[in-house]
Amino acid sequence: MREPSSTSSNTKAARNPRQMNIVLRNSEANHTSYSTLRYGTDEAAALNESKSLNREPFAEIAKEFDSFIGMDHVKDIVYEIFALLQISQYRMDIGLNSPTQVYHMLFKGNPGTGKTTVARILAKLFLSMGVLSKGHLVEVERADLVGEYIGHTALKTRELVKKALGGILFIDEAYSLARGGEKDFGREAIDCLVKSMEDYRNQFILILAGYPEEMDDFLSMNPGLPSRFPLQIDFNDYTVQQLMQIADLMAKESQYVFAPQAEMKLRHHLAEEKLNCGYSFSNARYVRNLIEKAIRHQAVRLLQQYSTNPSRQELMLLKTEDLRWERKN
C-alpha cells in the first residue's frame, strides 16, 4: 500500500545516506564522484567515458519508496539489494568477477504492514536491474498450491512456478503449508517449491510471507529452509502516530479532511484497537477500511442534511459522526 512519508525535514537531514531520498539526489548529481569513490580515479574515468551511469529505473522506485510512512529497515535492505546489483554491474564492466547471489526472501509481519506492496516494488527493481526478465508478481496462498489427492499438489505447484518464471512468486501465510499433519498435502507443496528453486535457479524469486511467530515455527519445522532464503525482512507494526499520518494522507488523496474532533476520536480508537487486538490488528488495511466507511457515512449524512448542493467545505469534511465502528465486548 502506498503511503506518503511521514519524515519531517529535520529528520530527513539526519537520515542514513543509504535511504531512498538520498539516492534520488545522488542520481541527479555528478556521477564521476560516485564512481571515483568506488573505483579510483583512472578506472572511474574510463568507465564514465565508455558509458553513462543510468540510475533512472531505481530513481522511480526510490520515489515510490519515499512516499511510504515508516518502514526504514525495509528501505535500507532494498537499497542494499540495489547497491549490490549496481556494484556487480560496475565490476563486470571493468572485467572483475561478480559472484552470483540468491534473492529468495522471507517476509515476516502482521497484516497491513506492506509486505505485498514491497514485493511488487522489488519485482520492478529486479526487472530494471536485469535480474528478472518479466518483473511480474504472482500472489498465491495455500489453497492455490495444495491439491485434493496424491500428485495434484505437485501439479498445481509446478504450474504456478512456471507462471512465475521471470518474476516473483509470493506465497502469503506460507506457514499454513506445514499445518495439517503428516498426511497433509501442504508438505508436498513445500518439497515441490524447494525442487523448483533448484530446477529454475535464477529464473524466478520466491518470497514466503506471514505472521512473525508462525513463520519462525514454520522454519523450525523445516530446518533445510532458512538457508535457502538469505534475505529475511521484518515488517513492523505501525505506531498510532504513523497510523494517523496514514489516515490523514489516505483522506487527502481522495480530497477529504478530518475535523479536529474526528481526528481525536480516530486516534483514540486506533490506540485502543492496537492494544486489544495485538498481532491480529491489520494496521494500514484497518485504517483504509475505516476511512472508506466514514466516506460512505458522510455521503448519507450530507444527503439527509441538505436539500441543495452542500458547500465545498462540507463535501470535504469528515466529522465525528462519520467515524463509526462496531462496539466489541
- The answer to whether the beta carbons of residues 191 and 151 sit under 8 Å apart is no
| Choices 3.90.320.10, 3.20.10.10, 1.10.8.60, 3.40.605.10: CATH for 240-322 | 1.10.8.60
Per DSSP, the residues of 202-244 read: TT-EEEEEE-HHHHHHHHHH-TTSGGG--EEEEEPPPPHHHHH
When mean pLDDT is compared across 20-29, 224-233, 259-268, the lowest value belongs to 20-29
CA–CA separation, 202 and 183 (whole Å):
32
Q: Which three cell numbers stand for residue 23?
A: 539516492
When mean pLDDT is compared across 24-38, 208-222, 261-275, 305-319, the lowest value belongs to 24-38
DSSP state letter for 69? S
- In the chain, the N- to C-terminal Cα span, in Å, equals 31
Percent of the chain having pLDDT more than 70? 81
More confident residue, 49 or 207: 207
When mean pLDDT is compared across 17-26, 158-167, 305-314, the lowest value belongs to 17-26
CA–CA separation, 141 and 143 (whole Å):
6
Confidence at 265, pLDDT banded by 50, 70, 90: very high
Q: Residue 194 — φ and ψ, nearest 5°?
A: -60, -45
- The answer to whether the beta carbons of residues 39 and 47 sit under 8 Å apart is yes
More confident residue, 13 or 193: 193
The pairing of beta strand 137-140 with beta strand 168-171: parallel
Structural domain spans, the chain: 1-99, 101-236, 240-322
Torsion of CA 234, 237, 241, 244, to 10 degrees: 110
CA–CA separation, 172 and 155 (whole Å):
19
Side chain identity at residue 233, one-letter code? I
Place of cell 532458512: 226
Average pLDDT (243-250) is 95
Confidence at 56, pLDDT banded by 50, 70, 90: low
DSSP state letter for 67? T
Side chain identity at residue 110, one-letter code? N
State pTM to two decimals: 0.77
Q: Which three cell numbers stand for residue 227?
A: 538457508
101-236 has CATH 1.20.1540.10 classification: no
Residue 257 has pLDDT above 70, yes or no: yes
Q: Which three cell numbers stand for residue 307?
A: 436539500
